[in-house]
Every structure is written in C-alpha cells, then in structure tokens.
Structure 1
Amino acid sequence: IMSFVMLTMIFIMLPRASVSAKRILEVLETKESIVDGKGNIKETSQTGEIEFRNVSFKYPDSEDSEYILQDISFTAKKGETVAIIGSTGSGKTSLINLIPRFYDVTEGEVLVNGVNVKEYKQKELNNILGYVQQKAALFTGNILSNVAFGDNGKGNYSEEDVISAVEIAQGAEFVEKMPDTYKSAISQGGKNVSGGQKQRLSIARAICRKPQIYIFDDSFSALDYKTDRKLRSVLKKETTDATNLIVAQRIGTIIDADKIIVLEEGQIVGMGTHKELLENCKVYQEIALSQLSKEELASA
C-alpha cells in the first residue's frame, strides 16, 4: 500500500517539478539586457554631475505608444540638492532607476560625471552612487555588517565609520538603546526593527560609502517630520561635496532643495525653487496646497 501511495505522490509532484524546472531554465537562459561598457573611466572636471539629455523611456514589453518618460532634460551639478516630485505614477522612480542602469533609456542619454552610463562597467558606476531605494532593505546579520555592506572600491569600513554614518542618519538614539548596540542582531529583511529605523539604517549605509552622488528614492517617508528635517539638515552639512537627488511625496522634505523638478505623466511640467514653482507651476501649487495651508506656505 505504501508503495502505491508513494507512486501516487510522484505522479502529483512530477508535473510540478517539470513546470518549476522550465521556469528556472528560462531565468538561467535569459541573456542580460544591460551590458557592461568598456570601463576604466578617467576622472573629469564634471565629477558628481548628473545630466539627462532628451531622455525618453518605455519598458521593453510595453506598446509603442506607452512612454513612461518623455523628453526629460536637466542637470544636477556637484554639491546641489535636486528634488523630484509628482503624483503617483508620474514616473519619478522610473527616472531614478535609469541612473544606476536598472533599465537603459529608450531615447536620449543619461550622463554621470560627463560620461554616458552605458560606457561604465556596472561596478564602477555603482561605486560612484549611494542609492537608497524606496523599500528599505536590510540583511541577516547585525547593524555593523548592514551599514558597512559593500566596499565601494575603498576596502572595508571601520567601526568608527559606521558609528559616524548612523549618527548622521539620526539612528544613534535607538541603536545605542539596543542590548548589544552596534552589534545587535538584525533578522532577515529587518523584521525586528520599525519602518523608520529600517530607513535610517539604509540611509546610514549610503552615507558610510561616501559616494559622489546620493540618490534617495522616497527614503524619508517613514520618518516623522522632526526627524526628517533634522536628518536632512545634518546630511546637507556632511555632503557639501556630493550631489543629492531626492524623490519625495512630501513638500516638507524638498522645500529647501536648490532645484525642484515637477513630473506629470512622465513629462517635466515645472522646474525651479520652491518659491518659483509656487508662483508659476499649477501642478506644484496643487500638491503644496493638498499638504500645507496657505499660511504655512507663506512662512516657508
């Protein structure tokens, strides 16, 4: 009887295993669409600069007419803070993802330090960037290993580097209250810390790398307004030689940016400072008034 039971189970498991094997083979046999450039890029006078030149983008499997971004052109120079804001689905994250080459542009060029990103080897490009994604990711280990993750081409980081980065990211207060402080365990995915704590540790990881360009993809959303403002104030002092690119939903997060880019349906509908956009950009006015009162905007 047991033999027949096992035989029945094999007949049930075999089709499942076959389907799974086909899916695994599809992944293994897929050719990479992002191909490394020649690399060995020499330093230029445009260090820390990002430029978008007439960039249009659509996802590879979308229809011809479905452009996510259309004719995007702007420059973020060394030391500047450039913010990107827009409604949900306006293409903010898609735009940011073109810089580290998660996707390649359909038309136009993205340049980092005056060089097209397609000419970099991916490791070289990643070593220039400090990227904090929308969904904060932590790994099994401890706070030290998470913040010091990746060598950025500079070798391993010291404990002092990690402590300094966590302090700048406004995480020292909760880390030092943990049983083993900087050696406290982090579970898979960071499930044993809150959303705000997870975000601050992810920001600390980027700071620890000391990159030329910081990219924050809605990375302050889980922080309260007080912590958000304090973090950005300290971050601005510590990253005067670096370029900051911030994607945000909250006006308060980007109000002090040197340049704000307003996206609507994949197109730039406004570009300038907070005060300039309040005067001449209807989309920005609508976003601002939905979050702050007229009195708050007048005093900002």
Structure 2
Amino acid sequence: MKASLKLREDGAPLLRAKLPVALLSVPAVASLTAGDPADLRLALATASPALPSLRLSYSPNRPSSPLSLSIVLGSSPGGCPSPSFSTGASAITMSVEVNTAGALSFSLVLKPSLGDFAVRKRFDTAGGGGSAPTTSAAASAASEVTMRSAIPVRGGAAAVSVRWGVRIPAEVTAGGEEGAAALALRRLPFLVLGKVTVERSPPPPPAASKARTQEEETSVEKTRRENEKLRRELDELRASATEKREKGTSTSTTAGTSRWSSGWRSPEMSGDWKAADVGR
C-alpha cells in the first residue's frame, strides 16, 4: 500500500492512496484521491510492466461527467508509465482522457531525474464537449527542481519519503507581462515542501520459515552430493567390471590358441589307434 499527501497553494492538500490488486490475472492499482470536493475520485488502472495503462475513474462530485476513461503512456519500454508500483512515473508521461460529457483532455508531464534529483514540468490541455470540441492549451503555473529524501520507519516495515525543492514561478520563466524589472518578491524562486509519501514495505519472512528454508536448502545440497558420489562409484564399478571381462576374454583366447598350435594330437583324432590294431 502507498499513500501520499501533496501540498498545494491554491487548494486543500491532495491525499492519494494506492493499493495493488489483480484484475482478471492482470496486475492493477486501485486508487483513492481526496482534497477539495471536486478532487474526490476513485480509479482503477492496469499496471502491466510492458503496456500502457488504461484507467477508469469515477468522480461522484462531478454530476455532468462522473465517469472518465484515459490511457496513460510513459517513456518506459512498451509505453508503461510506471515500471513498478514503488518506483513512480517514468521520465515522460502522457495521458489522454475522455469523460461522459464528451470532453477530451490531454496532459504531458516531464520529469527527468538524476538519482534523487528531478525537474518537473506539467502541461495541460482542456477541451470542450460535442462533436467538434474546441481545445485550449495552458501550461502549469510553475516549474520545480525537486529532491527526494527517504526515511525508513519501524525497523524498515515502512518508508517515508519527502519531496521538496525550489519552485520557479511561471512569471519568471515567461518574463512577466511587465518585463523582468517589474518582478515582485513573490515571483522569485522559493523553497517548497511538495509531497510526503508513506509506503509499506513487504514483511520479511518469519525466522522459523527462514530457518526451515535454510534447512531444506542444506538437505537438498547434501542429497545432491551423495547422489554425485554414488554416481562416481557406480561408474568406477562399471569400468572395473568391463576391464575384468575384457581380461578374461583375452586369457581364454590365448589358452585356446596355445592348445591348438602345440602339435599334439590324440590317437582318436589322428587315426593311430586303427593302425595299432592292424599291426597286432
């Protein structure tokens, strides 16, 4: 489970909670978003590691368009916006959303990162309903250079990460309507605390289970070694038996050859007994 609290200047803090679930053997994430009344939303999104995410959302406080369907693409292989449940969004995330009123919206989030440091910039495009919607583009109010700090709690059972950084107002990046000389103090970059995330870590295996696993691994290794030893002994016995059989065959052949080549012949074989009887 993963929960986060995002601090905002123009509204109440935005609370998000995510829980991994299985949707017909497909990994998915169920989420709840709450803040201002218009922010209340329940969503169910696919989370395949090699495909774009398909998200179905329900906003009960928006009677005109409570349901919306969106497809979210990322820069990860296969277009996945989040390589895993805990790593967050990829460096580039694009989403296209259509609601029951027929309004089409598009958003682009740029988040290049280097370790715990990242630069965030968001662009939103809102469209109208009807068969020929009109589209107007608007960039986000500010850019941010952020850093993420993680703190383990309760012996590693959970982790708290804090995202803070320097926010650059849109007036600074755009130059302002009255020019750079008219920049007020409120338009200068300032340090902000952006988001606090609490994520539960998977529980470690119990000590008994770990000891049992080690015992099983030791037993398997012992059995493997005994089988290897028996196999070697069996191969040696086979080789010894083959060698004895070959020696026995060679000895028998040599003895038979010596017997037939000695020149001695029995009287029955040579016919001498007949000659002896005739001489008598």
TM tier, shorter chain? under 0.3
TM-score, scaled to structure 2:
0.27
Rg comparison, structure with higher value: 2
TM-score, scaled to structure 1:
0.25
Larger RCO: Structure 1 or Structure 2 (Cα < 8 Å, ≥ 6 residues apart)?
Answer: 1
Please state which structure has a larger fraction of its residues in helix: 1
Please state which structure has a larger fraction of its residues in strand: 2
